[in-house]
Chain A
Amino acid sequence: MRRSKVLTLFMALALTAGCGGGGNASSGLPADQKQPASSGSSTGNGIRLGILGQCEGPFGGFHEDVVAGTTLALARFAGASPSSKTSALEGFSGAKVAGTPIELVGIGCGDDTADRIVQEVRRLVEQLGANVIIGPLSGDEGIAIAEYAKAHPDLTVLAGISGSQEQTLHVRAPNYFRFYGDGAIWNAGLGDLLHNKEGWETVAVIADDYSFGHTSAAGFIADFCAVGGKVTHRVFPPLGTTDYSSYIAQLPNPDEVDGYFWAVGGTGTQAALEAFVNGKGDLTGKQHAGNLFFNPDLAQALGTDIAGAYVGGFATLPSDVRTPEIEEYLAAADKTWESIPGALSGNKPAKPSVAAAFGFFYGYYTAGVALAEALEAVGGDITDVPAFHKAIAGLTLDLPYGDIKLDANRSGIVDVGLSRLVNESGKVVQQTVAIVPGVDQTFGGTFSPDTPSPGRDSPACAKRDLPWAGKAITVVNGVPQR
């Protein structure tokens, strides 16, 4: 008798919550429910947009930045007005392109794991009825979302800033588009420069042990080996390591190798370099190269010895390159909000252009621009989903940091900016040294849908021709010498 009440209560709870669980009417018993009733563009209610960010985990600080990126694009090209002047997370209203309204139905909260992001996208699509997704942010998430997109062909996904190679090269979902480069692309041209200009013959590589770290290292290795360099060591500490001493011990000593390439991200960059100083002796900047987290702020902890190091690109160019388009883009960000508490300002309110000048914001911005331009291209008619996808795939976006179009696997072909940390009278600053134009993710055939995913042992170190070798455009004092 007693138990019966418990069970009845449980059942009543379940039923009540079920009936109130969402707004979609449905017959329910549907062997048909591979596709949720509300997904796809067939509803004719315009774009129902879901944005996938990360509010927890190692990149949780960028949640505001990435939502702001898409919001800025829609504010500039779709007439959206943000609901708050000090935060993008409050959403926006009034977005419309070619008569088709764009409604923000929800913002997904990832934590850098594939499991969580799949749950978040299911909530956005299956509960809230999103038909366009912008995101995700991180490498492993991108692979999971690309797989989800493949299983839901009516959905349209514009990747945010997720940089793993496989999400486009291997998964190849026809409805998954990435208007920026992958982690490998951002290191294109760096090996060429180090081998041919700085005379590095041998290098040791240390990178995060997950898909983005593997992809970053793969790009550098492919580039450095293509021009004749040799990789002597590959060391992969897990993401989130705090004590790097045992991994530093696996690296050769500074007199045994010409240089080191670091693709250790987030808070790991500084910790790993400090462990290097403790384990191998003082840094000599010109013996090091790294990717996006190798920035002037490192000098605060490591001193000016870090000057001389080369840095691969990220979605935006370093701040010493200023063109009218870039100025206009940054000014538009400052006009859209009074302040944005982005990650670069430690999540304290700061000028929106601070966040806008960095890759996380910019990747989501490019996705937003792509959405607006694709809608324009189809005259706002999204009832024909394949035509809409074809329009997206055919776009060439005229963007502030360089034009971007897509390759056959719908991943961006981009210009990569290489830079160097230099010591300007005691202050370390980042100076752009070269722009490598038109880099695509295949690296002249090094990577293809049939090659293994970038991993601890792949790619192998092999000499080959790269389309962009020797074609880098030199940049002097922030001005490309085209």
Chain B
Amino acid sequence: MKLAFACLVFGLALLPAVATPFFVNFVMTQTLILGLAAATIVFLAKYGGMISLAQLLMVGIAGFMYGNAALDGGARGLNLGWHPWAAAGFAILVTTLVAFVLGAIASRSTGIYFLMLTLVYGVIGYFVFAQIVEISGPGGITSIQRPELLGPPVLLYYAGLLLSVAAYAGFRALGRTAFGLALQGVRDDPVRMASLGFNVPLHRALAFALAGFVAGLAGLLNVWWNGQIDPASISIGPTLILLIIAVIGGISSLKGAWLGAFVYVLVLTYLRDLPLVDRIGLTEARFNTVIGVIVLMIMVLSPEGLTGIVHKIRKQFGETRP
């Protein structure tokens, strides 16, 4: 298992040598960024039993904070003109703090109420940035440059890969620590955990803050990759897309987050290039319908997403093996 993981990482590290620049710098970099953000949804769902719709807001907060802090002398944002890495640190700090506060507020709700509360966070966050134009533009923050260290796009791909590997390994390792085990206890039976003396709301808030921290890293990569962010980037549509990515991959599988992101980006980018698909009405304008149908099929066939389907297939093979 570890060997296969190492092989995969090795393969991805070699990818720029064999694939086209567009595939590496556009498709795979976007996959890694979306996967990293979606992995925070999976982490909260898998270890904390919390399905959050506020993760894209964290991505957005980090992006806006970086843009405001790093830009110098333009018509948009606060133009603080800080050093890029200071701006990056500031963005992550603000995002993590906001995540902790929002997590603390939501920490006493569970299930559908938690989902609704985080949806409210997402919507409020969108309107905060849409209405307070001093920190969001007006009309978005553009011309965002990445730090010189990450100048060539392929290095951004490697940064995405490094952070993705670190997040995947980190989340898995965390699940085996005392905090991770307590968090899973909170997920399974919060009342019993409370009676055992665990501070249930604090565990939830800390998990939410950690997810916010990782989503903030994805947010930084995203503005470095995209060069701009505007309130529409974190509106309700993209918020749901991130959840859909997690669902496609399998909401209880960490690696599914990246798998879901990969499928999403592939469909977005290449579906329209397939021969004859436009003859059956599958133009790029109907992309959202296609994604919707894929999600529907996955929900029906395998509630555990693509990773669930892979597990089933493998099980079949395993059982028929002599």
Task: List residues of A whose CB falls within 8 A of some B CB.
Answer: 1-11, 13-15, 17-19, 21-22, 24, 26-34, 36-37, 55-56, 60, 63, 109, 112-115, 118-119, 122-123, 126-127, 139-140, 143-144, 147-148, 151, 164, 166, 170-171, 210-211, 214, 238, 452-453, 455-456
Given contacts A18-B15, A126-B22, contact A211 B152 (CB under 8 A): no
Complexed CA–CA distance, A423 and B133 (Å)? 42
Q: How far is the CA of A77 from the CA of B260 in the complex (A)?
A: 47
Determine if B105 is an interface residue (Cβ-Cβ < 8 Å): no
Residues of B within 8 A of A166 (CB): 75
Q: Which residues of A contact B23 (CB under 8 A)?
A: 17-18, 21-22
| Cβ-defined partner of A3 (8 Å) among B4, B28, B258 | B4
9 contacts between A and B (CB under 8 A): A7-B8, A10-B258, A31-B151, A31-B155, A109-B284, A118-B226, A126-B26, A140-B232, A211-B139
Task: Assess the A170–B75 pair: CB atoms within 8 A.
Answer: yes
C-alpha gap A2/B16 in the complex (Å): 28
B11 x A15 contact (CB < 8 A): yes
Which residues of B from 297 to 322 have beta carbons under 8 Å from A? Answer: 307, 310-311, 314, 318
Chain A, residue nearest B152 (CB): A31
Contact B285 A143 (CB under 8 A): no
Q: Are B4 and A211 in contact (CB under 8 A)?
A: no
Is B27 close to A, CB under 8 A? yes
Known: A18-B27, A214-B138, A214-B139. 20 other contacts (CB 8 A): A2-B318, A6-B310, A7-B5, A8-B7, A17-B27, A18-B28, A22-B23, A24-B22, A28-B17, A28-B19, A28-B154, A31-B151, A33-B154, A63-B285, A114-B140, A127-B269, A144-B140, A148-B227, A151-B227, A171-B143
- 5 smallest A-B Cβ distances: which pairs? A18-B19, A4-B4, A21-B23, A55-B285, A31-B152
Could you tell me if B285 and A60 are in contact, using CB atoms closer than 8 angstroms?
yes
Question: Known: A11-B12, A453-B75. Is A29-B140 also a contact (CB below 8 A)?
Answer: no
For residue A11, which residues in chain B have a CB less than 8 angstroms away from its CB? 7-8, 11-12
Closest to B31 in A: A14
Check B228–A21 contact: CB distance below 8 A.
Answer: no
CB atoms of B1 and A126 under 8 A apart? no
Tell me the bound Cα distance from A2 to B11 in angstroms: 19
Main secondary structure on chain B at its contact with chain A? helix
Give Cα distance in the complex from A122 to B283, angstroms: 18
Chain B's closest residue to A37 (CB) is B21
Question: For the complex, is B262 an interface residue (Cβ under 8 Å from A)?
Answer: yes
Contacts of B3 in A (CB 8 A): 4
Known contacts: A14-B15, A144-B142. The answer to whether A122 contacts B26 by CB under 8 A is yes
How long is the Cα–Cα vector from A75 to B75 in the complex, in angstroms? 40
Instruction: Given A5-B314, A18-B24, A126-B25, decide whether A115 and B227 contact each other with a Cβ distance below 8 A.
Output: no
A33–B12 Cα distance when bound, in Å, is 18
Q: Residue A10 contacts which of B133, B152, B154, B259 (CB distance < 8 angstroms)? A: B259
Whether the pair B28, A33 counts as a contact (CB closer than 8 A) is no
The CA-CA distance from A9 to B314 in the complex, in Å, is 11
In the bound complex, what is the Cα–Cα distance between A114 and B139 (angstroms)? 9
Query: Smallest CB-CB separation from A146: which chain B residue?
Result: B142
Closest B residue by C-beta to A56: B285
B153 close to A19 (CB less than 8 A): no
- Min distance, Cβ B213 to any Cβ of chain A, angstroms: 23
A127 touches B4 (CB 8 A): no
> Are the C-beta atoms of A6 and B153 separated by less than 8 Å?
no
Residues B138 and A9 in contact, CB atoms below 8 Å apart = no
Q: Please, which residue of chain A has its CB at the minimum distance from the CB of B314?
A: A2
Task: Tell me if A126 and B21 are in contact (CB < 8 A).
Answer: yes
Residue of A nearest to B234 (CB): A115
Q: Does residue B239 face the partner (Cβ distance < 8 Å to A)? A: no
Chain B residues near A115: list those with CB within 8 A: 226, 228-230, 232-233, 238
A21–B155 alpha-carbon span in the complex (Å): 20
Contacts of B25 in A (CB 8 A): 33, 126
B7 touching A29 by the CB < 8 A rule? no
Tell me how far the C-beta of A133 lies from the nearest C-beta in chain B, rounded to whole angstroms. 16
| Complex contacts, A17 vs chain B, CB 8 Å | 23, 27, 266, 270
User: A33-B153, A238-B130 are known contacts. Are A123 and B21 too (CB-CB below 8 A)?
Assistant: no
Nearest neighbor of A453 in chain B, beta-carbon distance: B75
A222 to chain B, nearest CB (A): 17
> How many angstroms from the CA of A123 to the CA of B133 in the assembled complex?
30
Complex: how many Å from CA A7 to CA B283? 31
Q: Which one of A36, A63, A238 contacts B21 once the chains associate, using CB atoms below 8 Å? A: A36
Q: Which residues of A contact B195 (CB under 8 A)?
A: none
Contacts of B12 in A (CB 8 A): 11, 14
Measured between beta carbons, the chain A residues less than 8 angstroms from B177 are none
Neighbour of B4 across the interface among A7, A28, A126, A164, CB < 8 A = A7
The residues of B that contact A164 with a CB separation of less than 8 Å are: 139
User: Could you say which of B16, B28, B139, B152 contacts A34, with CB atoms under 8 Å apart?
Assistant: B152
The answer to the question of B112 belonging to the interface, with a C-beta cut-off of 8 Å to chain A, is: no
Whether A140 lies near B139 (C-beta < 8 A) is: yes
Which chain B residues border A238 with CB–CB below 8 Å?
130
Cβ contacts under 8 Å, A4 to chain B: 1, 3-4
Q: Give the residue of B22, B233, B284 whose beta carbon is less than 8 angstroms from that of A127.
A: B22
Cα–Cα, bound, A126→B18 (Å): 16
* CB atoms of A113 and B75 under 8 A apart: no
Inter-chain contacts of A18 with B (CB < 8 A): 15, 18-20, 23-24, 27-28
B204 within 8 A of A: no
In the complex, whether B76 has a CB less than 8 A from a CB of chain A is: yes
* B187 contacts partner chain A, Cβ-Cβ < 8 Å: no
Which residues of B lie under 8 Å from residue A210 when comparing CB positions?
Answer: 139
Chain B residues closer than 8 Å to A114, beta-carbon distance? 140, 142, 228, 230, 232-233
Least CB distance, A353 to chain B, in whole angstroms = 25
Q: How far is the CA of A18 from the CA of B265 in the complex (A)?
A: 13
Whether B203 sits at the interface, judged by CB under 8 Å, is no
| Distance A24 CA – B24 CA, assembled complex (angstroms) | 13
Partner of B310, one of A9, A36, A60: A9
Instruction: List the B side residues contacting A26 at CB < 8 Å.
Output: 20-21
Within 8 A of A (CB), among B137-176: 138-140, 142-143, 151-155
Contacts A2-B311, A456-B138: A118 and B20 contacting too (C-beta < 8 A)? no
Partner of B255, one of A7, A63, A453: A7
B155 proximity list for chain A (CB < 8 A): 31
Q: Chain A contacts of B21 at CB under 8 A?
A: 24, 26, 28, 30, 33, 36-37, 126
Flag if B22 contacts A10 (CB, 8 Å).
no
Contacts of A5 in B (CB 8 A): 4, 310, 314
Given contacts A11-B8, A126-B26, A455-B133, contact A143 B142 (CB under 8 A): yes
Chain B residues positioned under 8 Å from A37 (CB to CB):
21
How far does the alpha carbon of A26 sit from the alpha carbon of B1 in the complex, in Å? 33
A8 and B4: CB pair below 8 A? Answer: yes
Residues of A within 8 A of B270 (CB): 17, 21
Q: Which residues of A contact B266 (CB under 8 A)?
A: 17
Q: Which residue of B lies closest to A143 (CB)?
A: B142
Q: How far is the CB of A415 from chain B (nearest CB, A)?
A: 28
Q: Which residues of B contact A170 (CB under 8 A)?
A: 75
Query: Across the interface, do A109 and B228 meet the contact criterion of CB distance under 8 Å?
Result: no
